[in-house]
Amino acid sequence: MMRRRIAVVGGGPAGLTFARVMHRHGYPVAVFERDPARGARPPGGTLDLHEGLGQLALDKAGLLTPFRAMSRPEGQTMRILATDGTVLRDWRPRPGEPANPEIDRGDLRDLLLGPLDVQWGRGVTRVVPGARDGAVIHFADGRHETFDLVVGADGAWSRVRPAVSTVTPHYTGVTVVETSLDDVDTRHPDLARLVGDGSVAAYGVNRGLVAQRNSGGGVKVYAQFRAPLDGHTSGDLTDAEAVLSGLLARYDGWADALLDLLRRGTAFIRRPLYVLPVSHAWTHVPGVTLLGDAAHLMPPLGAGANLAMLDGAELAEALATGPEGTGPQDMAGAVRAFEEDMWARASRWAKITAAGLERLVSPDPAQALALFDQVQPA
């Protein structure tokens, strides 16, 4: 193992957790990230890390204690409103209750990065498996490098995935438009009260509106609705006025307090929700594997980053210790055993989150409330 060259493509939750756990076991990994630098783009909103998933992965990386110090258990607080603003549910974790504390993506990235030496600005265009083993990574700048194992952790639109699978993501029928509010406690105290320490959500016919507190007084607002794709892709929406008036028409009749979450947003980003098939798997290809969204993209219902991190930690442990004690020499065996476990776990969660999305953005808004009661009976 010490002489094996291992690379991970993508410095998101999956890739960084993989590299960090490998580092803990004393194995170096080359991390290639397309972003030109740490912090080159806004890292995104908050993530809740579950005990048996993301927190387990952090434990395997030796990072559970610092995570506990920087995460926000109070971020679990959740209020559900009717579209007229009536409070339907107001849930907060009880002291001592196992919670899924929230952490901002940027803080999580910094925690995982620690001593890792990421190669920024190294966008990958494709990966070509070798005739017998290993694989060649081709970079956007025209260079290429050969490794014994290439781990694709490059997210939904993975450039590594075609080396093992012909499957591509498909649109769920649901689009999210995201906006942000800064410094809410000072600039928007009414909205700060509405959102509280955690989240507030309201669900109407085929649409929902969710706002989540981030650290430092930030709030992310997600308008989610059923809409045809119309050739739209993900990205920043430049005509903010037109986007806002489109959203206000879509949420016509909703309480002013909820609409203010949109009206006071600073910029809008479109995210059509794509998924991979629920049981996406592939015939094992020596020298290449996938983790996280690259392997099992699913609706964003609080599992994706958690699964991505656990994938990364478990693959690293499998490589560092070998399957069932066979020792670290059997890299192909370790990867194959890992893939079987990952596919089984991801398939369970893909089914849960697909069914969850159907209920959250549903013709019958009572379904969303029923789902909430089911997952948070307290």
Ligand X SMILES: Cc1cc2nc3c(=O)[nH]c(=O)nc-3n(C[C@H](O)[C@H](O)[C@H](O)COP(=O)(O)OP(=O)(O)OC[C@H]3O[C@@H](n4cnc5c(N)ncnc54)[C@H](O)[C@@H]3O)c2cc1C
Rank residues 73 and 322 by Cβ distance to ligand X and give the closer one: 73
With CA atoms as reference, report the closest residue to 1 among 19, 21, 28, 20: 28
Q: How far is the CB of 83 from ligand X (least distance, A)?
A: 21
Q: Which is nearer to ligand X, 9 or 357 (CB)?
A: 9
Cα–Cα distance list, 36 to 121, 127, 209, 230, 293 (Å): 4, 20, 33, 31, 21
Task: Rank residues 93 and 322 by Cβ distance to ligand X and give the closer one.
Answer: 93
Shortest distance, CB of residue 19 to ligand X, whole angstroms?
Answer: 11
Q: Nearest to residue 126, comparing CAs of 83, 164, 163, 167?
A: 163
Cβ nearer to ligand X, comparing 177 with 319: 177
Q: Which helix (H) or strand (E) holds 296?
A: helix 292-296
Pick 113 or 240: Cβ nearer ligand X: 113
Determine the Cα–Cα distance for residues 335 and 243; give it in Å rounded to an integer.
Answer: 45
Q: Kindly tell me which of 123 and 196 has the beta carbon lying closer to ligand X.
A: 123
| Tokens at 166, concatenated | 């012909």
Question: Cα–Cα distance between 89 and 92 in angstroms, integer?
Answer: 10
- Around 11, how many Cα atoms within 13 Å sit in the side-chain half-sphere? 30
Choose among 289, 292, 22, 313: nearest CA to 135. 289
Distance between alpha carbon 189 and the CA centroid of its chain, in Å? 29
Site of interaction with ligand X (CB under 6 A): 9-15, 32-35, 47-48, 123-124, 153-155, 159, 176, 222, 271, 292-294, 300, 302-306, 308
Considering the complex, state which of residue 199 and residue 362 has its C-beta at the smaller distance from ligand X: 199
Q: How far is the CB of 259 from ligand X (least distance, A)?
A: 20
Nearer to ligand X, 13 or 356 (CB): 13
- With a CB cutoff of 8 Å and minimum separation 6, the contacts of 160 are 9, 124, 127, 150, 151, 152, 154, 288, 290, 294
The minimum distance between CB 369 and ligand X, in angstroms, equals 20
Cα–Cα–Cα angle for 130, 312, 271, rounded to 5 degrees: 95
Residue the block writes with tokens 């910094």: 110
Question: What percentage of the chain's residues is helix, strand, coil (to nearest 5)?
Answer: 35, 25, 40
Which CB atom, from 33 or from 148, has the smaller least distance to ligand X?
A: 33
Q: How far is the CB of 59 from ligand X (least distance, A)?
A: 16
CA distance 358 to 205: 12
